[in-house]
Amino acid sequence: MCVCVASNSAQSTITNKSRLKLLHKREEILQQIFSALREPPTPLCEMGSKYDDFLEGVIVEGFLHVMEPTVAIHCRKSDVENVNTAAAQASKTYQDLRGVGITFEVIGSIADEWYALVSKMLCRDPKYSICRSQGGVKIVSGNGRITLDNTFEERLRLLEDKVGFFTYGSECC
């Protein structure tokens, strides 16, 4: 009986070590994928019409989530013109979907680059780093009580959280 318990214990140890190696390898691969997404060869904001379509989609989504008659759309300073165009199209789509209009103001308040402190999620360098925003918008309701962050970085962070949850289960967070 003692030999059987020892054998089962050894087998369990081997199985657990294998699981840990597999989880570690999976984590490495996911980190490589997210790292590549954070610093793509061609950033989303430089993809022309694809970026414009992305902006229009996230703005319509934001309008539908906020559902206020007036909103402020915060974007990168370099995107103000693109966001104005995308928001005009998005407001027409919103009008078609909801039957009511929406007014918006575009504000170039998101820096194209910013300094991050010890931010492994956003930058490879664990010290002060310059991070380049990939684009997107933040939509704030007219009364300022609701803010919807639809920036590329925030969407990527949410995806990382979701993948981490499915990888490790609810006890992770």
Which one, of 162, 148, 171, lies nearest residue 73 by Cα? 148
Which residue matches tokens 């930058």? 123
The per-residue pLDDT for range 6-21, each reduced to its tens digit, is: 677 778 888 888 888 8
Distances (CA, A) of 169 to 155, 156, 165, 172: 20, 19, 5, 6
The CB density around residue 22, as the number of other CB atoms within 10 Å, is: 10
The per-residue pLDDT for range 128-162, each reduced to its tens digit, is: 445 567 788 999 998 889 998 888 878 778 787 77
The per-residue pLDDT for range 84-124, each reduced to its tens digit, is: 999 999 999 999 999 999 999 999 887 766 544 334 444 45
